[in-house]
Structure formats: C-alpha cells, structure tokens
Amino acid sequence: MNETPQAAVMTAEPKTWSMWDRKPDPPAYRMQPRDVKILEAVFRHRFLTVSHIHALLGGSKARLALRCRVLWQDEFLERPKALRPTKILTEEIVYALGKKGAQYLDHLKKKGVAILDYLKPNVDIGELDWAETPKKQIGWPYIDHQLGIASFMTAMQVAAHAKGIRFHWDGHFNRQQYRITTPGDGAAVLPDAYFTLEVPGRGIAHHYLEIDRANVSLKRMQERYQRYFEFWKSGYGNGRSFKHFRVLTVTYDPDYMQSLRRAAQPIGRDHNHPSSWKALMFTHAGAFDIHKPDRILESIWLYADGEAEIALV
C-alpha cells in the first residue's frame, strides 16, 4: 500500500536547523567582500535586521538572509536571545556582531582596510564581547530602541547617497564621545547619535538625534531640550569646530510628537526672541522608512512652533 501524505509527514525526519541552535558542523564557506560589508554594517549600527542590511547593500534580500545565517552559524554574527521565543513570530531576525566577527574586523583594521577608517587607531575591536550570557542578557526595549536608531541612520545614509550629499556618522561604538555637558550644573546629555550632512559647495550641517519612544516624561524631555540650548549658548558647541547644530527628534506616535513640540515651545523664547529655538526639529517614524528613504530629507520636519513643514536639505 502506498504511504499517505499524512503518514509521510509523520515519518519525516525532524529539521536539524533551528532559529537558535547552531549546527555542530556548520558548512564550509569562503569569506567574501560582501560578508565583510555585512559585518561592518552590523558593527556600526549595533543591531540590524536583514531589511536594514538589504537597504544598505542592495542585491538579493534572500541571498543576504542566507549569508547572515551562514555567518551566524559560524559565530561571526549573533542573534539576541530577547527575540526568543515570541518576538521571532512577528519580527525579523535581529543580528549583532559575534566574537569571531569582532576579531575578524580587528584583523582587517590592523591591516589598514579603509572600511573601518572612522575608528581611532587605538580601538581594539577584537576585545569587544557583546555575546550574551545567562547573567548578561540584552532586553528587548534596548534592542528595539537601537533598531529605531538603525532605521533612521540607514534611511539617512541611503537618501544622502542618492542626492550626492556627504553623510558622516562614525557609528554606535563612538557614541559616548558626543556626550554634551551644560555649563553651571554640569548636567550631561547623551544623544542617540551625532552625524553631519555636507552639501558640496554649501557647507556642513551638524545634527544630534533623539529617538523618543514616549518612555520619558514630557518634563524630562523639556529639560533635555533646555540643556541642548544652554550647551549651544555656552560657546557654540563648547569649543567644537562648528557654530550651529540641529536636534532632530523622531517619535513613534504623531500625537506624542505634537506633545513634545508643545513642551519645547518655551525653549529659547524671551523678550528679544518671540519664537522657539529653531534648532529643535520634529517628525515621526511613519513619515519615512527604509523603503522610502528619500522622505527623510524632504519636508516632513516641524519646528517646535509653526505649522510649515520644512526639509533638512
């Protein structure tokens, strides 16, 4: 008697590969230049999905997904444990740099490969250990926040390149060096990112980024904006090489964006300045994404006061 389809399913051998358990003998492969670009992108952003990597590198998304899986199998990439068991049912797999990936990038850096020229000479990538342990696991809120930053920076990079604008951001690893300190009380603000946009022949625009998930009170955000303002007033960047900058806030809720704008309206106002400080600019994540990156440079931004939408460039 022929075996029925149902019986065939019941007797089939179980899959040997899973989302979280690596094979004891991963398939052999040769490291390709595109693999290096994948590792560098994940290092620069801290966490990326295949969609982010595809937006940055182009090509076949399916092939990129397969290549990321191969690099994960060989411990060049990691998959945060916060995604298991429920997040993976609704979200894309998230990748972080693995120990072997860090060591490989450090080897390239010491050989002078230009792909890592934004790092200081004394940085030892190979000593990084972002691997999780039972006592050191990364929570989903942190990962989700970093993915929000990654979506913004990915869209910005792609949009700037398409318009011939020079985009410079030296990545998550260097974030701490852009902490700003306000005069007087010495309070510090650590932005989510600092980057520049340079339009040839027109100059460079400096930006601090705030990705706001509404997990901080409006009063706290108002104080944060005031610190940016005091920092600016103290000497145009406290001795830095630029005079003006923008503070870009991206929210996930358009209504909350409006609440933040209202909270920011008093910043910079006095008897000589009836308008809010024009360095504060706001938009929400629904106004752009990595599939519509050009929108990020267009008229989707608002000042704290006024209703005219403005473009970054």
Q: Which residues lie below 8 Å from residue 108, measured CB to CB, with a gap of 6+?
A: 36, 115, 116
Mean pLDDT of all residues in 9-23: 53
| Cα–Cα distance, 120 to 113 (Å, whole number) | 13
Instruction: Using DSSP bridges, classify how beta strands 246-251 and 203-212 pair: parallel, antiparallel or unpaired.
Output: parallel
Tokens of 263: 């909270």
- Summarize the confidence of residues 109-138 as an average pLDDT: 72
pLDDT band at 114 (very low <50, low <70, confident <90, very high): confident
Q: DSSP secondary-structure letter at 4?
A: P
Predicted TM-score (pTM) above 0.85 = yes
Distance, CA of 278 to CA of 219 (rounded, Å):
19
Per-residue pLDDT at 122 exceeds 90: no
* Three-class secondary structure of residue 196 per DSSP: strand
Residue 145, pLDDT > 50, answer yes
CB 41 within 8 A of CB 153: no
**Residue 224: in which H helix or E strand, if any?**
helix 218-233
C-beta of residue 52 within 8 angstroms of C-beta of residue 291: no
The proportion of the chain whose per-residue pLDDT surpasses 90, expressed as a percent, equals 58
| Tokens, residue 3 | 């075996």
Does residue 6 surpass a pLDDT of 70? no
Nearest one of 225, 233, 242, 247 to 184, comparing CA atoms: 233
More confident residue, 17 or 272: 272
- For residue 158, pLDDT over 50 is answered with yes
Strand partners for 7? none
Per-residue pLDDT band at 92 (split at 50, 70, 90): confident
**Between 96 and 272, residue with greater pLDDT:** 96
User: Residue 131: what pLDDT?
Assistant: 62
Other beta carbons less than 10 A from residue 23's beta carbon? 11
Dump pLDDT digits (tens) for 253-312. Answer: 999 999 999 999 999 988 888 899 999 999 999 999 999 999 999 999 999 999 999 999
Residue 242 DSSP one-character state = -
205 three-state secondary structure: strand
User: What does the alpha-carbon distance between residue 278 and residue 299 come to, in Å, rounded to a whole number?
Assistant: 15
CA dist 193 and 211 (Å) reads 9
Separation CA 31–CA 18 (nearest Å): 23
Distance between alpha carbon 91 and the CA centroid of its chain, in Å? 17
Mean of the pLDDT values across residues 55-68? 96
| pLDDT at 15 > cutoff 90 | no
Q: In the beta sheet, which residues pair with residue 292?
A: 289
The DSSP symbol for 12 reads S
Is residue 108 a contact partner of residue 76, using CB atoms and an 8 Å limit?
no
**Which residues lie across from 188 on neighbouring strands?**
181
Q: Does residue 58 register a pLDDT over 90?
A: yes
What pLDDT is attached to residue 118?
A: 74
